[in-house]
Chains A and B, each alone.
Chain A
Amino acid sequence: MMELQITLLMVIGLIAIWFGWRVFRTNSMVRSAFSLLASMVAIGGMFLVMEAEFLGVLQIMMMGTEMSIMAIFMMMYMMDPGGLGQMDMTHQEKPSIVAAVVTGGLALGVILLTNWGDIVPAAPAPAQQNHDLGMEVMQRSMMIFESAGTSILTAMVAALATALIIHNNNQKEH
């Protein structure tokens, strides 16, 4: 069972990494948005492999809608949405590569040098997981859950207040 999980994690993980890499390597913005969608769905697939069924399905559903919206915004706001002009869309590329490699290397060192302890062989069944997560949300983590809800409301208000043009009708135009 563990061997199957390792194999599936590797395959789906490589798909996620490949599409994540394609996001920044293509000129077409629609392709880039849908590569990110594929990468996120692959991450959801990894959740399913790791037996977190609820989170996996939630991830796939949320990212499906979010990345489709992102694709629309990309086409609205990009200088060159089709990538036909071969514009260079990057800056400070070398420092970024160095920063990414150094951070990744540090994390890799931590992963390989830490003794993570014993792997638990079996996870709870999906129905049990949902029940226990519900109990967690409604008991111990209730404040966190409610703050998440409040921050969604705050972000909605903030997003509307930022994006809307507010006409002040009381002010006389000169």
Chain B
Amino acid sequence: MVLTVALIIGTILFGIGLYGALSQTNLVMIMMGVELMLGAVMVNLVAFWRYLHPESYSIQMFVLVVMTVMALEAAVGFAIGTQRFRTKGSIESEESADMKG
């Protein structure tokens, strides 16, 4: 029961994050959606650790790695945003058709 509650909260947060990452036009808002999804992943991991395997610390290690990924994603994303804003004057994804491969 308690595990189900935690997992459902994680699912809803993941859904909101997915909606945001797909629907927003601004790079920073897309990154916010990705951060929400990663936060939902961490909720799931901690719930699995606490309620199924409190003796296994590799799950906590995994949470630490996901936190690192969140910080790195923000750093590299802002760097791309800075360069994009400097050269094009905007970080809207609608105006980035020239980045299409």
Contacts and interface: CB of A to CB of B under 8 A. Distances in A.
A17 B81 contact: no
A35 to B, nearest CB: 9
Interface in A7-34: 9-10, 13-14, 16-17, 20-21, 23-24, 29, 32-33
Contact of B9 (A2, A46, A123): A46
Contacts of A119: 1-3, 51-52
Give the secondary structure class of B's interface. helix
A77 B85 contact: yes
Q: Looking at A54, A76, A77, A78, which has the most chain B CB atoms within 10 Å of its CB? A: A77
A115 B51 CA distance: 13
A47 B46 contact: yes
Contacts, number: 233
A10 B72 CA distance: 30
Nearest to B4: A111
B60 to A, nearest CB: 5
Contacts of B64: 55, 58, 137, 145, 148
A17 B13 CA distance: 6
Contacts of B13: 16-17, 20, 39, 43
Nearest to A24: B20
Contacts of A116: 3-4, 51-52
Nearest to A13: B9
Given A16-B9, A24-B29, A70-B32, A144 B65 contact: yes
Nearest to A17: B12
Interface residues of A, number: 84
A6 B8 CA distance: 12
A114 to B, nearest CB: 9
A51 B52 CA distance: 13
Given A16-B9, A158-B79, A79 B51 contact: no
B61 A100 contact: no
A152 B74 CA distance: 12
Nearest to A94: B23
Contacts of B63: 52, 55
A135 B50 CA distance: 18
Contacts of B14: 103-104, 107
